[in-house]
A and B are shown apart, each in its own frame.
Chain A
Amino acid sequence: MISNSQDHALIERCKSGDRQSLEKLVGLYEKPVYNAAYRILGNLDDAADITQAVFLKVFEHLGQYDPKYKLFSWIYRIAVNESINQLKRGKRQQTFSDNEVAATDNPEAELAAGDLSREIQIGLMGLKEDYRTVIVLRHFSDCSYAQISEILQIPEKTVKSRLYSARQLMKETLQARGVH
């Protein structure tokens, strides 16, 4: 994440059509957006589609960017909204991919990690969207309460409440599936 003044300068250069700045902005946020979308959607193909859609929206609306918000918050907000819209469209959701676990030299560990990862994604997909989103932003995007509050435009108190409930549900789901 970069500072507000750097954000602003980057946005201004992008608005002027500077290709290097476009590349920098996309390079900075492509992976975080892709990962957040993947965890919300549970599907790598959808995550790629959404990542593209997010950046198209970002650049379409650069002129509407409000500098009082951090750039990453604005981009994440678009990513979350696009992902939720995608869920509502019901495309390819909840088809968890086996390709997500990084290859290792230890096939047994890889299998175990894959199983675990799959179980966790199943647990995530079992949560309602509000809960899943806060879990994703907190644990996969490493956002603080304040950042989640800014991204979702809800009070911090609500962020905490959703997060606690989501964790409790996740814990119960995973325990019920034998993951401890």
Chain B
Amino acid sequence: MLEERTIHLINTDIDGELTAAEREELDVILESSSEAREMRVELLRLSNLLDSLPEQSPPPALLKQILNKLAPSSRASNFSLSGLFASFQPATAGMTFAAGLLLTVGFYELSPNGQSSSDTASMVGTMVASQPGSQDLLKNDVRLKGDGFSGTVSLRNKDGVYILNFDLDSSDMTEIKVGLDRTGLSFGGFAETVSDADKVFESVTISGGTLRVVNQGRQQFAVFLRVNSPEQAIDAGSVTIDFPRDGDRLYGGVPES
């Protein structure tokens, strides 16, 4: 049975961290102990085996994926939604789509961890439309028009807070869903700015990354999207806005020309 000191010296030798004095000490032990020599050979073999395993190369796309998450894309400063909306063809004003329409609003910013906040109270009452200093992110507001339903949606950025403005008028109860799951932005607040006196919001609910509003009548409201932690880089994501109705019928719109 080898002494603890011998085991220590052999392992330290394997690791190349022996001092000169320890080297001399080990040499003396190895000269006199076949058991120590055998242990050293076995550990050296194991060490060589471990050291011989090939290094793995990360997937080629990994570096780019990481960098995309870490840094804002150069597209951010010039980003416009008009190109995205142009894909909704045919772009005829007032057209009702039989199939669903999904408006996709891209964000390319450093953004927070996607945690949603339900703290809406502090934002209620804040009028954001046409605020001085705000930056229009929607070059062309989205105009929505359908059967008993019309309105516009715009997206603005004010002091780092992204604001989706809705100006809607619907004869029937209408459901609107704002999806934040893939954006990395979190829900920062909700403000109702104008509404019919007798037709207030039926409900406003937040679940995970989805804000769901059910309303009727004339409504102006704003959804605030917050970037909580600029240090944390996340995926370029997208906000989705959709307007399902009657279970299987969705209304869509086209941008103003």
**Are A and B part of the same complex?**
yes
A59 part of interface (Cβ distance < 8 Å)? yes
Contact with A along B35-67 (1 / 0, CB 8 A): 000000011011101110111111100110111
Q: What separation, in Å, do the CA atoms of A102 and B54 have in the docked complex?
A: 7
CB distance from B54 to the nearest CB of A (A): 5
Q: Please determine whether B66 and A51 come into contact, CB atoms closer than 8 angstroms.
A: yes
The answer to whether A63 and B8 touch across the interface, beta carbons within 8 angstroms, is: no
Q: Do B231 and A63 touch across chains, with their CB atoms under 8 A apart?
A: yes
- Taking a contact as CB atoms under 8 Å apart, the answer to whether B11 and A34 are in contact is no
Asked if B232 and A59 sit within 8 Å, CB to CB, the answer is yes
Does B102 reach chain A (CB closer than 8 Å)?
no
**Given contact pairs A30-B62, A38-B56, A145 touches B15 in the complex (Cβ within 8 A):** yes
On whether the beta carbons of A164 and B46 are closer than 8 Å, the reply is no
A13 interface residue (CB < 8 Å to B): no
Pick the residue among B47, B51, B62 that contacts A48 (CB under 8 A): B62
- Whether B56 and A26, one on each chain, are in contact in the complex, defined by CB atoms closer than 8 angstroms, is no
Count contacts on B: residues with CB < 8 A to the other chain: 35
Asked if A117 and B58 make an inter-chain contact with CB atoms under 8 angstroms apart, the answer reads no
Set of chain A residues within 8 Å of B47, measured between Cβ atoms = 139, 167
CA A22 to CA B70, docked complex, whole Å: 8
Give min CB distance, B18 to chain A, whole Å.
12
* Chain A CB within 8 A of B118 CB: no
- What 4 A-B pairs have minimum CB-CB distances, sorted nearest first? A139-B50, A34-B58, A60-B232, A164-B11
Name B residues whose Cβ lies closer than 8 Å to a Cβ of A. 7-8, 11-12, 14-15, 17, 42-43, 45-47, 49-51, 53-59, 62-63, 65-67, 69-71, 229, 231-234
Can you list 28 pairs linking A and B with CB atoms under 8 Å apart? A19-B71, A22-B67, A26-B63, A26-B66, A26-B67, A30-B62, A31-B56, A31-B57, A34-B56, A34-B58, A35-B56, A47-B56, A52-B66, A56-B66, A56-B234, A59-B70, A60-B233, A117-B53, A120-B50, A120-B53, A135-B50, A140-B50, A145-B15, A160-B8, A163-B11, A167-B11, A171-B42, A174-B49
